[in-house]
Structure 1
Amino acid sequence: MEEAGRIDHLSGERQKAQFDLQPMRVLLAGGEHELDVAQRVAAIVARDPVFSKANRTRLSREELYKNSLRKASHGWKLIQQLKLTEEEAFKLRSLVDEPTFTDLHWGMFVPAIKGQATDEQQKYWLPLAYKMAVIGCYAQTELGHGSNVQGLETTATFDPATDEFVMNSPNLTSTKWWPGGLGKASTHALVYARLITDNHDYGIHAFIVQIRSLDDHKPLPGVTVADIGVKFGNAGYNTMDNGLLRFDQVRIPRNNMLMKLAKVTKEGKYISSDVPKQLAYGAMVYVRQSIVSDASVYLSRAVTIAVRYSCVRRQFGGQGNDPETQVIDYKTQQHRLFPLLATTYAYRIVGQWLKWLYSDVMNRLESYDFSTLPEVHACTSGLKSLTTSVAADGIEECRKLCGGHGYLCSSGLPELYAAYVPACTYEGDNVVLLLQVARFLLKTLSQLGGGVKPVGTASYLGNLPVLTKQGSRVSQGTDWLDHSNLLYAFEARAARLALVAAQLVQKAGNEAGFEQHSIELIEAARAHCELMVLSKFVERLQRGVPGRGVQRQLDILCEVYGLFLLVSRAGDFLSTGCLTPTQVALAKQQLQNLYTEVRPNAVALVDAFGHTDHYLGSILGRYDGDVYPNLYKDAWEEPLNKTVVTDGYEEYIRPILKQEFLPSRKARL
């Protein structure tokens, strides 16, 4: 995977590892097959010069975007030539590591057609989409409307005289705004609009609208479409043509309405389908479980860079001829870095569980079994919110952990952060999503009195009498290494916060109380989500993991994840009476001990993610640790260094140096 003949400056660190690397890689990849696909495709991408990231952050927006088109086109050609499977093609697009229009085509446009189009419509549209004979995007968000889908203003009014829908943007705030791929690349958009027929508004429905000519790619009559401009950060998401879209009485065939869940007849009659509307949840669940998996991937990249560089970087502590201390050996560095490493592993495992949950709910939906949908909605909403927020903050923390060099674009961290942080907003604002989880918790608690026993991730709420009365049994530091004690503390905290929030809402009066006590509800929802991650980590470990030392390392990381959260959220545990100050102090001390056990394995633990140097795109995170010569070399690639004397010297610097701006003695203010 790495170039032969390179000096490995981190070989000493790798020799300290107390576990077998290969079985850990298999676990993180999700299986032998998944690891094989990842390694084969990663090698294809890493050795192809077209996918090079060199100087990406130094390109203008126009150059950056055209380069992304070149990579997307080349990737599609490779997929055809190598006859890659759908799984391999998805992996290739992700490892090219450049947001582009194909992400929305395959990730949103195609799944939406699968989920909301009739069989006849799918037979027409899917072959075109699979061949990319049309390029689609997902146009939902509007300039004045984001998370509140029911507030969208774009209209689709049916005209029975021509058997067409008339798409219209009635005002400025109805402008579609943000859809990726819309600005320049897409020929079609899956548009969410208010369906109006027979003078009645039937709410939001999905329509496929052609927006550009398939001959010359120009916008069709009545369509206004453009890119919305430069986004945050160097490169980052600026390779994506996020766009704006307006309609001025644009007509589309009636059959361009996706009609799996409802249809409009030629006469303009609205008919709800016999197909349950819950079937549409499948696409949303798929996207959100993918986002949770991505959170682990992006955070693992930042953690890999920070761990490797923390071993290379030395600072202070050297006496005489002794070398300075490796930064990773400072407890302050470990306390900021190792919990992020543990979190990455925790999110990878919960992401794998969520993938199983998606398969389970889809099988149930096909049998019209909707019993698990409320829990699945809460799981995907809550975990999307939690993991993206923590991953975004974690990437920025890793940049800080790399000191001044982390601020260089060549570290890979600024661009990584800029590319990832939109995840906190798209597919649901993270605060709004936590409030949806809170509603689920309130409903679950309200049903307890009726004898409804909670199941799944909320099953602990069925044990309220114990969780709200009994304290923790921890009496010494090593008791915290018993995962049952960790779980009990997290369950008690989540249960007590949820119960208190429910009582406050009830006292204030339902909806008014929900708004008034939204802060307490968010705290309860976050506690529930953090419990979910910890419990799935523990459950996975209970099944056992093969390989020398692998189980032990995972146990340590699980304990670091749980205890770090416990110490960080000590206020919750203390204020709700779950723990005593002494028990929290014991947890803090045990956490310090665990850092010592992580230390010799840190480099191998990030090696297990299997990221190539190409994918990391970081001089600081190089596999071989050869940081300083390459930082120096990269500096000379800076365009400013093409000239010895800078352009602008004669006009601006020389007059200052020669004091040509000094006023004469006769000058007056």
Structure 2
Amino acid sequence: MIGEKEGAGVDYLAEERAGAQFDLHSMKLFLAGGQHAYDVSKRMADLVANDPVFAKEDRVRVPRKEHYKNSLRKAGHAWKTILEQGLTEEESMKLRAFIDEPTYSDLHWGMFIPALKGQATEEQQHKWLPKAYKMAIIGCYAQTELGHGSNVQGLETTATFDASTDEFVLHSPTLTSTKWWPGGLGKASTHALVYARLITDSQDYGVHAFIVQIRSLEDHTPLPNVTVGDIGVKFGNGGYNSMDNGLLRFDHVRIPRENMLMKLATVTKEGKYIRSNKPRQLGYGAMVFVRQGIVTDASIYLSRAVTIAVRYSAIRRQFGAKDDKPEVQVIDYRTQQYRLFPLLATVYAYRIVGFWMKWLYEDVTERLNNNDFSTLPEVHACTAGLKSMTTAITADGIEECRKLCGGHGYLCASGLPELYAVYVPACTYEGDNNILLLQVARFLLKTLAQAGSGTKPVGTAAYLGNIQHLTSVNCKVSRGEDWLNPSVMLEAFEARAARIAVGCGMRVAKAPDSESAFNELSPELVEAAQAHCQLIVVSKFIEQVQKDIPGEWVKQQLEVLCNLYALSLLTAHSGDFLATGYLTSRQVSLAKDQQKALFSAVRPNAVALVDAFDHTDNYLGSDLGRYDGDVYTHLYKNAWKDPLNESVVTEGYHDYLRPVLKQQLWGPASKL
């Protein structure tokens, strides 16, 4: 009965936690990225959880207009809190993350400001950044159009230079040139970083970036000849509907020439276009920053779903009762473990690759500052591929976790439908995932061609310099335990990635028209890119677990998760490994047996491994994923909060239900 479960402070998962075989606090520090990062996260999470303004439990029940207004209130309160408490940039980012509600400030800080840093001259930065940092202006990133997204070079908005007034004229010449989707644009932003075709002296110089004021700083009304609004309700209940994704059109809007971002190219007063001697790839810095953040976010969002699914799977009992014993915990069923534990290992893998990508961003930034552009092609491919892979797997993983929670997972009270709805746009923003994988494939083909000419591949593509060995060697695994050898695992993923890439490269090279062949082979090229990206994550996980890691049995747990992650990929993609001739069916079978053994190793630590993510109940927002495991009490209480339960007899009974029940559908009192 419900009343029997309402004991305050009872931990229904205590027995699970007592069986953990590693030092939980040390694992928390590892996942946070160290003591400092852990302290900042904990402090900001507590600050949000204890502030009633940031409450979010009812947001799936309110109409979109009220939901958006509440998001403005939270964003304003967040900024007030940041100023009053003197929070650092790091603390401010964490605060906004724990508020857990998409809003205009996300794009202001996450896209508008980084783009200014990456593409504006020092003089322009001195003019615009102080205003942006104070939020005296609110910016958005207006690139995507109604008719074009990933194909940036196909954008139609024009910026035509008028030398007589020293101004650019922004214009939307077609319906499909309407800017469409930029977050923060619909209702909040005062300025937009607009990507438009630069036309001067009757010549089109392609897409460039311009700062355009779109709303008055006095009363927030749209400026003359600017049409701007919200694009409408998106997928899901709460989800991304707190964000004012917008539409924008220009009717010959004039801006000063200086509003063109001129770090990489300039236009003189006379209208002469001058390209900077600096490589255009300098703009990649902001892109790398955004994409490394997306990979880190993937691990965070997936960790929330996995936490909910693991805790609920340990609470939920179904079937198998014998001799008056309780039913079996769902988490003990192998079918549940096969679907759930690889996702748990994936969270750890993505967290580790996120740490590495943070280093990658710092490294490429330092190189760019020193005019070293040597690693840019690899960094571009790496960030594109990892963004694509991690977001796709995370979106699918959140949905899988929802299904792993059975019928209750479909309730908004589980936290999973809203989590999925708010995350899934990541698969398309900052580059459509398939388009990004094809960019990785082009990089692989180019790297192979260069390697054939004597240029040694570096970084994540270094294995392509070992083609002769990788395309001829066969796997030496003869026992299941052999798969626990890091060098054996690494070679398997290198051989698979190399062989798929070489196969594609040979077919493209033999074709009379390489572009037509590239299009025809695009499904295989996507597979080559995916194999390359999976290799990156496996290799970075292996590198990490070979280091000294503090905490009792923490390293051992990470080794188990590393092996589980790699073997789960290998068995899921066994067709690739078999088709390329590297593995035999016997070796795949041994991999599956070893994977099953690793499930048994994870099982006693599963709840503690998700506890290590250190998510507060407030942040999870899930009755199923509560820390104390008191699931059914809170599901029951939550049901009564629904507006439909405000009246015992529903509104509409007298007008629509009663006539049906009383057989009065055609009577004088019927409204049907």
TM-score (norm 2): 0.97
Residue-by-residue CA offset, 1:246-296 (whole Å, 9 max, x unaligned) = 000111111111111111111111112233322111001110111001000
Q: Quick one: which amino acid aligns to residue 570 of structure 1? A: S
Q: Percent identity?
A: 70
Specify the alignment match of 2:113 in structure 1.
110
Specify the alignment match of 2:587 in structure 1.
583
Please tell me whether residue 225 in structure 1 is matched to residue 228 in structure 2: yes
CA drift of 1:5 comes to 6.2
Q: Quick one: which amino acid aligns to residue 98 of structure 1? A: E
**CA–CA distance in structure 2, aligned partners of residues 45 and 81 of structure 1:** 15
Please tell me whether residue 183 in structure 1 is matched to residue 168 in structure 2: no
User: Which of 440, 457, 462 matches 2:460?
Assistant: 457
Moved more, 78-87 or 27-36: 27-36
User: Which of 628, 637, 649 matches 1:624?
Assistant: 628
Specify the alignment match of 1:121 in structure 2.
124
Specify the alignment match of 2:217 in structure 1.
214
Residue-by-residue CA offset, 1:196-231 (whole Å, 9 max, x unaligned) = 111111111110000000111000000000000000
**CA–CA distance in structure 1, aligned partners of residues 315 and 637 of structure 2:** 18
Please tell me whether residue 525 in structure 1 is matched to residue 529 in structure 2: yes
**CA–CA distance in structure 2, aligned partners of residues 274 and 145 of structure 1:** 29
Please tell me whether residue 305 in structure 1 is matched to residue 308 in structure 2: yes
Please tell me whether residue 595 in structure 1 is matched to residue 599 in structure 2: yes
Please tell me whether residue 250 in structure 1 is matched to residue 248 in structure 2: no
**CA–CA distance in structure 2, aligned partners of residues 624 and 419 of structure 1:** 26
Q: Quick one: which amino acid aligns to residue 156 of structure 2? A: E
**CA–CA distance in structure 1, aligned partners of residues 63 and 293 of structure 2:** 31
CA drift of 1:322 comes to 1.1
3-state secondary structure, aligned to 1:537: helix
**CA–CA distance in structure 2, aligned partners of residues 635 and 652 of structure 1:** 24
3-state secondary structure, aligned to 2:117: helix
**CA–CA distance in structure 1, aligned partners of residues 273 and 462 of structure 2:** 41
Q: Quick one: which amino acid aligns to residue 8 of structure 1? A: D
Specify the alignment match of 2:299 in structure 1.
296
**CA–CA distance in structure 2, aligned partners of residues 448 and 186 of structure 1:** 48
**CA–CA distance in structure 1, aligned partners of residues 581 and 641 of structure 2:** 59
3-state secondary structure, aligned to 2:79: helix
CA drift of 1:467 comes to 1.1
**CA–CA distance in structure 2, aligned partners of residues 339 and 591 of structure 1:** 10
Q: Quick one: which amino acid aligns to residue 227 of structure 2? A: T
User: Which of 228, 238, 241 matches 2:241?
Assistant: 238
CA drift of 1:320 comes to 4.1
Please tell me whether residue 352 in structure 1 is matched to residue 355 in structure 2: yes
Please tell me whether residue 609 in structure 1 is matched to residue 622 in structure 2: no
Q: Quick one: which amino acid aligns to residue 93 of structure 2? A: F
3-state secondary structure, aligned to 2:482: helix
**CA–CA distance in structure 2, aligned partners of residues 266 and 467 of structure 1:** 57
CA drift of 1:662 comes to 6.9
**CA–CA distance in structure 1, aligned partners of residues 595 and 281 of structure 2:** 44
CA drift of 1:461 comes to 1.2
Please tell me whether residue 549 in structure 1 is matched to residue 541 in structure 2: no
3-state secondary structure, aligned to 2:141: strand
Specify the alignment match of 1:316 in structure 2.
319
3-state secondary structure, aligned to 2:160: strand
Specify the alignment match of 1:400 in structure 2.
403
Specify the alignment match of 2:665 in structure 1.
661
RMSD: 1.2
**CA–CA distance in structure 2, aligned partners of residues 562 and 453 of structure 1:** 27
3-state secondary structure, aligned to 1:370: coil
**CA–CA distance in structure 1, aligned partners of residues 23 and 71 of structure 2:** 38
CA drift of 1:163 comes to 1.1
Moved more, 240-249 or 319-328: 319-328
User: Which of 56, 67, 72 matches 1:53?
Assistant: 56
**CA–CA distance in structure 1, aligned partners of residues 87 and 587 of structure 2:** 54
Specify the alignment match of 1:391 in structure 2.
394
CA drift of 1:663 comes to 9.7
3-state secondary structure, aligned to 1:597: helix
What is the correspondence of 1:148-547 to structure 2 with a 5 Å cutoff?
A: 148-509=151-512, 510-547=514-551
Q: Quick one: which amino acid aligns to residue 576 of structure 1? A: T
**CA–CA distance in structure 2, aligned partners of residues 449 and 419 of structure 1:** 45
3-state secondary structure, aligned to 1:192: strand
**CA–CA distance in structure 1, aligned partners of residues 134 and 96 of structure 2:** 16
**CA–CA distance in structure 2, aligned partners of residues 431 and 109 of structure 1:** 25
**CA–CA distance in structure 1, aligned partners of residues 343 and 521 of structure 2:** 31
**CA–CA distance in structure 1, aligned partners of residues 99 and 9 of structure 2:** 24
3-state secondary structure, aligned to 2:274: strand
CA drift of 1:524 comes to 0.7
3-state secondary structure, aligned to 1:219: coil
**CA–CA distance in structure 2, aligned partners of residues 451 and 204 of structure 1:** 35
**CA–CA distance in structure 2, aligned partners of residues 320 and 5 of structure 1:** 31
**CA–CA distance in structure 1, aligned partners of residues 182 and 266 of structure 2:** 25
Residue-by-residue CA offset, 1:88-125 (whole Å, 9 max, x unaligned) = 00110111000000000000111111111111111110
User: Which of 575, 578, 596 matches 1:574?
Assistant: 578
Q: Quick one: which amino acid aligns to residue 287 of structure 1? A: V
> Which blocks of at least 5 consecutive residues in structure 1 are unaligned?
665-669
User: Which of 561, 564, 576 matches 1:560?
Assistant: 564
What is the correspondence of 1:66-81 to structure 2 with a 5 Å cutoff?
A: 66-81=69-84
**CA–CA distance in structure 2, aligned partners of residues 301 and 477 of structure 1:** 32
3-state secondary structure, aligned to 1:204: strand
**CA–CA distance in structure 1, aligned partners of residues 450 and 221 of structure 2:** 56
Specify the alignment match of 1:143 in structure 2.
146
CA drift of 1:588 comes to 0.4
**CA–CA distance in structure 1, aligned partners of residues 579 and 125 of structure 2:** 55
**CA–CA distance in structure 1, aligned partners of residues 409 and 548 of structure 2:** 38
3-state secondary structure, aligned to 2:17: helix
Residue-by-residue CA offset, 1:586-643 (whole Å, 9 max, x unaligned) = 0001111110110000010001111111110101000110110110000000000000
User: Which of 645, 659, 670 matches 1:641?
Assistant: 645
**CA–CA distance in structure 1, aligned partners of residues 414 and 191 of structure 2:** 38
Residue-by-residue CA offset, 1:410-457 (whole Å, 9 max, x unaligned) = 100000000000000000000000001101110111112211111111
**CA–CA distance in structure 1, aligned partners of residues 400 and 142 of structure 2:** 33
Q: Quick one: which amino acid aligns to residue 427 of structure 1? A: E
Residue-by-residue CA offset, 1:153-194 (whole Å, 9 max, x unaligned) = 001111111111111000100000000000000000000001
Q: Quick one: which amino acid aligns to residue 531 of structure 1? A: L
Moved more, 158-167 or 229-238: 158-167
3-state secondary structure, aligned to 1:66: helix
CA drift of 1:78 comes to 0.2
CA drift of 1:31 comes to 1.3
**CA–CA distance in structure 2, aligned partners of residues 637 and 516 of structure 1:** 55
User: How many residue pairs are counted as aligned between the two chains?
Assistant: 661
TM-score (norm 1): 0.98
**CA–CA distance in structure 2, aligned partners of residues 6 and 499 of structure 1:** 59
Specify the alignment match of 2:67 in structure 1.
64
Moved more, 300-309 or 252-261: 252-261
3-state secondary structure, aligned to 2:289: helix
**CA–CA distance in structure 2, aligned partners of residues 403 and 5 of structure 1:** 27
> Which blocks of at least 5 consecutive residues in structure 2 are unaligned?
1-6
Specify the alignment match of 1:667 in structure 2.
none
**CA–CA distance in structure 2, aligned partners of residues 5 and 251 of structure 1:** 64
Q: Quick one: which amino acid aligns to residue 562 of structure 1? A: A
CA drift of 1:316 comes to 0.6
**CA–CA distance in structure 2, aligned partners of residues 148 and 490 of structure 1:** 32
**CA–CA distance in structure 2, aligned partners of residues 544 and 491 of structure 1:** 25
Q: Quick one: which amino acid aligns to residue 492 of structure 1? A: A
